[in-house]
Structure 1
Amino acid sequence: MNNIYDIVIIGGGVVGSSIARELSKYKLKICVLEKELDVCLETSGRNSGVLHAGFNNEPGSLMAKFCVEGNEGFDEIAKELNIPFKRTGKLVVGFSEEDKEKLIEIKKQGGVNHVEGLQIIGKEKIKELAPYVDGNFALYSPSTAILNPFIYTIAMAENAKENGVDFYLDNEVIDINRNNNIYEVRTIKDTYNSRWIINSAGLNSDKIGKMLGIEEYTIYPCRGEYFILDQKVGKYLNMPAYPVPNLKEGGLGIHLTPSIDGNVFIGPSNEYIDSKDDYSTTKEVMDLLIEDGNRIFPHIKKEYFIRNFSGIRPKLVGKNQGGYGDFIIELREDIPNIINLSGIESPGLTSAVPIAKYVVNLLGEKENLEDNPNFNKYRKGITNFNEQPIEIKRKLIEEDENYGEIICRCETITKAEILEAINNPLGVDTVTGIKYRTRAMMGRCQGGYCQTRIAKLIQKEKDKREEEILYSRKNSNMFVGKVRV
């Protein structure tokens, strides 16, 4: 019998990849089955990139506990995995007395959750902290941070891979059966056999759950749309700025967030939809983003808009109920050797590592986990040429002439960086796979200059025909034949 594992993890987003990395600290044979062509194409890569503090979550909930733990422990994880992030702080701004009362309640809730440093501040202090943000008062959270969600997810997966975890991308699970105490997990490509299954399938966790005999959870997809603003705007916004949230709606309101690379996000909106893969953006919502965003950051100009996108939250509560359901993370007693995760929405990104540790503890209740003496917690990311001092740049070019050729002009990404990304540990060879690992094509021209050059490099390095080059997902073929480059 081939493909026999101790543990099969279904879902390779940030939580599934974090679980894989945490489990690779032990002598176990593990694989991750991911239906997409990369590990950050759905919820894990389609968000604001905020490391939350934990004051918005219900006291006593897993959301609150893991969000606070994830925030407090992130410096260490970022160092181990070479993840760029910055503790910027965050403002939740208000205008009315009703807003102020809500902020006072949120601050109290944050105190119960052990979030440190929260303050209610006035207009003068707002302008001192964020000169271009408007509001009569605000809740200031000094521990909130920003990060690159693509790099975070990729780093977790790559480090898990380097520690012995097998990743099978483009392997959507279509059926699960159990025979002689072994689960047979059938995908569109193969069958994988395992003693344990961990369901970390995100938006499809209810679908996988039903294959396992878990009927009680339903995921309600909730779409949020965003605008991305040019880096020219980054100098005006040094920390995330949020409105007072309407928690009944199940979101934190349309806010503005600087990215770790200097862009600014406006969004997300909050709309329940029928499909789990409808990543549309709409003019109606785009207009709403501009209107609401201008209320707290009245410096938005249309010439700054470079792209829009959307993400989908896997909510456990429907539109009629609203609000939030807590994370479901359970060791099933009615179904043997199953750990089921469902409803891992925001703050799932912040909570990923504590969730992974919790899953390992659950597994440890049933299994004798033996340490892996070869575990290496460090991962070296792709060298960012543009951020290096001039003497290091000269040395890099002397050692590898590909550092002397710029492929992406907007972001100053070199050929050496593109080649390193193409030859990544997970074997991802899509155009967006290179984009998410290097920031190429994320600048003002959005790939107008470099995209075809990157496609040509993928073709050469991976020995592909033009027709085989994919943009992001299956059937996203970029070419139907030869083109001029």
Structure 2
Amino acid sequence: MSFYDVCIVGAGVVGMNIARELAKYELKVCVLERCDDVSCGCSKANSGIVHGGYSDEPGTLKAELCVKGNRMYRQLEEELHFGYRETGSMVLAFRDEDVEKLHKIEAKGQKNGVGGLSIIDGDRAREIEPYLSKDVKAALYCKNAGVTSPYEFVIALAENAVENGVELRLNSEVTAIEKTNDGFKVTAANAETVTARYVINSAGVYSDKVSAMLGIDDYKITPRRGQYVLLEKEQSYLAQSVIFQVPTELGKGILVTTTYHGNLLVGPNAEEIDDKEDVGTDAKTLEHIVQTARLSVPDFDMKKAITSFAGNRPISNCKDWVIEESRVPGFINLIGIDSPGLTSSPAIAVMVKGILVQAGLSLVNKANFNPLRKAIIRKKDAAFKGDINATDPNEHIICRCEQVTEAEIIDALHRGIAVKSIDAIKRRTRAGQGKCQGAFCGSRVRKLIADELNITQEEVTQRGPGSSILPERAKRGEFIKL
């Protein structure tokens, strides 16, 4: 049985921000994750938006931490190189009553301390975004919003945390937590047991289940599924900023944006479901998303759609996020961290550190903490001479669509996190993210993983234990007609 100062349950964007923050100190920290990789829950399947902070009710944790988190991204990108850029965002008004709503949203933003806010008319909005609908009357413009690659952010945090001494234990679903005289005994499904002075519950859609393990059953998490459509990079000219419509009670609504890597993205809807593992998509919902997105940007070409996906947000029965030491001393609960959780996650980590100090944890700075992490993806310039038959790993192309080299994939396999699935490599290198969705490179990636790790190709799965070893294909037929 291993002993730790802090045990973190969940390796999503919140859990790994906390782990990396605590890695700055002389502490023994572990992270237990139920999946075979980090960022396999709602952290990987979301819009990737770094929100400005104008949508949340003033005085809430959401409002406070969104603004603080937004301001931390530039430095984090300089240190970790995961992919972030400031693009600005717009909230569009199509009717006079929508314009009134824009003024209310602007007032919220000003109370929350959001900078770079202004209401502009439709003509000015179309100067910034020429492909907006002619029906746009006005827009709330926020300079400080941006886009990031959410799963690459989590991977970067995890790699840096591990390099600085954090122990990451994958395939370790927590099944029981017991309070002891010295702290907690935490048991995982693989019969692994750890003890820790403090436990942090950052289990996302399962945070209510983890809390209940200590008799704290005050919370209920309802998954709110959001479906998306991803289009080819050649459609990215249609949107340079993040384009929202006036939000509804269920969320920020259908958006149109260019992802960090240059694909056009539309979605999500918001549907409350029962199954926390249900991340399926359906043609009827995708059609609704597409038609709603066309109100903002009419002319994207659905023949250029390459895939659809969905993610579940953890909606709790509380009005605001719960981030606190629970009534069980030393057990820190993070409940219902939905949007803007990605934006807020660095600030949440700082807040949790403060809660731990108040609970009695002593912090001593780690003299050799290294805040830097090198990027995996290498930007290719005009001089790059890649070829699928090259012998040099730096020029040997494995994925044609995204120009991913053998050297990048080998690098990704040796970053301190033991992964061996095709999807894990896709998240790290973008091999399989392009037009053909892995139809060309899937078998090549599998062989390279097997050869590099000295395992059989049958041991290389698509997305972890129990998944098919067959490469997935783009399912264009489901929504090509839209």
Structure 2 length-normalised TM? 0.94
Q: CA deviation at 1:211?
A: 0.4
1-side partners of 2:263 and 2:377: how far apart?
20
Partner residue in 1 for 2:193: 191
Partner residue in 1 for 2:235: 233
Q: Secondary structure, in 3 states, of the residue corresponding to 2:356?
A: helix
Change (3 A) 1:383 1:297: closer
Partner residue in 1 for 2:299: 299
Q: CA deviation at 1:257?
A: 1.5
2-side partners of 1:116 and 1:404: how far apart?
44
Question: Would you identify which runs of 4 or more consecutive aligned residues in structure 1 move more than 4 Å?
Answer: none
1-side partners of 2:75 and 2:299: how far apart?
36
1-side partners of 2:385 and 2:97: how far apart?
58
Indicate if the aligned counterparts of 2:50 and 2:148 stay in contact, CA closer than 8 A: yes
Indicate if the aligned counterparts of 1:10 and 1:32 stay in contact, CA closer than 8 A: yes
Q: Secondary structure, in 3 states, of the residue corresponding to 1:241?
A: strand
2-side partners of 1:421 and 1:146: how far apart?
23
Indicate if the aligned counterparts of 2:175 and 2:187 stay in contact, CA closer than 8 A: yes
Partner residue in 1 for 2:353: 360
Indicate if the aligned counterparts of 1:385 and 1:403 stay in contact, CA closer than 8 A: no
Partner residue in 1 for 2:328: 335
Q: CA deviation at 1:383?
A: 4.3
Indicate if the aligned counterparts of 1:467 and 1:479 stay in contact, CA closer than 8 A: no
Partner residue in 2 for 1:348: 341
Q: 1:462 aligns with which of 437, 442, 453?
A: 453
Indicate if the aligned counterparts of 2:238 and 2:300 stay in contact, CA closer than 8 A: no
Partner residue in 1 for 2:479: none
Q: 1:477 aligns with which of 454, 468, 471?
A: 468
Partner residue in 2 for 1:321: none
- Deviations 1:185-208, CA, capped at 9 Å, x for gaps: 110121111111111111100000
Partner residue in 2 for 1:423: 414
Partner residue in 2 for 1:384: 378
Indicate if the aligned counterparts of 2:235 and 2:301 stay in contact, CA closer than 8 A: no
Q: In the alignment, residue 274 of structure 2 is paired with which amino acid? A: D
Indicate if the aligned counterparts of 2:20 and 2:158 stay in contact, CA closer than 8 A: yes
Partner residue in 1 for 2:166: 165
Indicate if the aligned counterparts of 1:206 and 1:342 stay in contact, CA closer than 8 A: yes
Q: CA deviation at 1:210?
A: 0.3
1:176 aligns with 2:154: no
- Deviations 1:138-181, CA, capped at 9 Å, x for gaps: 11111100111011111111111010000000100111112332
Q: How many residues are matched?
A: 463
- Deviations 1:419-441, CA, capped at 9 Å, x for gaps: 11122321112111100111111
Q: Secondary structure, in 3 states, of the residue corresponding to 1:341?
A: strand
Partner residue in 2 for 1:126: 125
Q: Secondary structure, in 3 states, of the residue corresponding to 1:53?
A: coil
2-side partners of 1:103 and 1:473: how far apart?
44
Indicate if the aligned counterparts of 1:202 and 1:342 stay in contact, CA closer than 8 A: yes
Partner residue in 2 for 1:271: 271
Q: Secondary structure, in 3 states, of the residue corresponding to 1:143?
A: coil
1-side partners of 2:377 and 2:33: how far apart?
27
Q: CA deviation at 1:394?
A: 7.5
Q: CA deviation at 1:300?
A: 2.2
Q: CA deviation at 1:385?
A: 4.3
Alignment of 1:62-101 (within 5 A): 62-101=61-100
Partner residue in 1 for 2:477: none
1-side partners of 2:138 and 2:63: how far apart?
25
Q: Which has the higher helix share?
A: 1
1:452 aligns with 2:453: no
Question: Which is further off, 131-140 or 164-173?
Answer: 131-140
- Deviations 1:310-330, CA, capped at 9 Å, x for gaps: 01000014xxxxxx8311100
Q: In the alignment, residue 136 of structure 1 is paired with which amino acid? A: K
2-side partners of 1:64 and 1:25: how far apart?
26
Indicate if the aligned counterparts of 1:133 and 1:241 stay in contact, CA closer than 8 A: no
2-side partners of 1:66 and 1:241: how far apart?
22
Q: CA deviation at 1:302?
A: 2.1
Alignment of 1:132-143 (within 5 A): 132-134=131-133, 135-143=136-144
Q: CA deviation at 1:479?
A: 5.0
Question: Which is further off, 178-187 or 263-272?
Answer: 178-187
Q: CA deviation at 1:467?
A: 2.2
1-side partners of 2:335 and 2:409: how far apart?
36
Indicate if the aligned counterparts of 1:8 and 1:32 stay in contact, CA closer than 8 A: yes
Partner residue in 2 for 1:113: 112
1-side partners of 2:74 and 2:470: how far apart?
42
2-side partners of 1:280 and 1:477: how far apart?
17
- Deviations 1:276-297, CA, capped at 9 Å, x for gaps: 0101101110110111011111
Alignment of 1:210-221 (within 5 A): 210-221=212-223
Indicate if the aligned counterparts of 1:407 and 1:450 stay in contact, CA closer than 8 A: yes
Indicate if the aligned counterparts of 1:330 and 1:340 stay in contact, CA closer than 8 A: yes
1-side partners of 2:18 and 2:283: how far apart?
38
2-side partners of 1:350 and 1:426: how far apart?
24
Identity of aligned residues (%): 39
Partner residue in 1 for 2:18: 19
Indicate if the aligned counterparts of 2:33 and 2:169 stay in contact, CA closer than 8 A: yes
Q: In the alignment, residue 163 of structure 1 is paired with which amino acid? A: N
Change (3 A) 1:298 1:276: same
Change (3 A) 1:479 1:409: closer
Partner residue in 2 for 1:58: 57
2-side partners of 1:98 and 1:179: how far apart?
57
Indicate if the aligned counterparts of 1:93 and 1:242 stay in contact, CA closer than 8 A: yes
Indicate if the aligned counterparts of 1:3 and 1:191 stay in contact, CA closer than 8 A: yes
Q: Secondary structure, in 3 states, of the residue corresponding to 2:130?
A: coil
2-side partners of 1:266 and 1:394: how far apart?
34
Partner residue in 2 for 1:483: none
2-side partners of 1:136 and 1:182: how far apart?
58
Partner residue in 1 for 2:154: 153
- Deviations 1:237-263, CA, capped at 9 Å, x for gaps: 1111111111x22x1111112101110
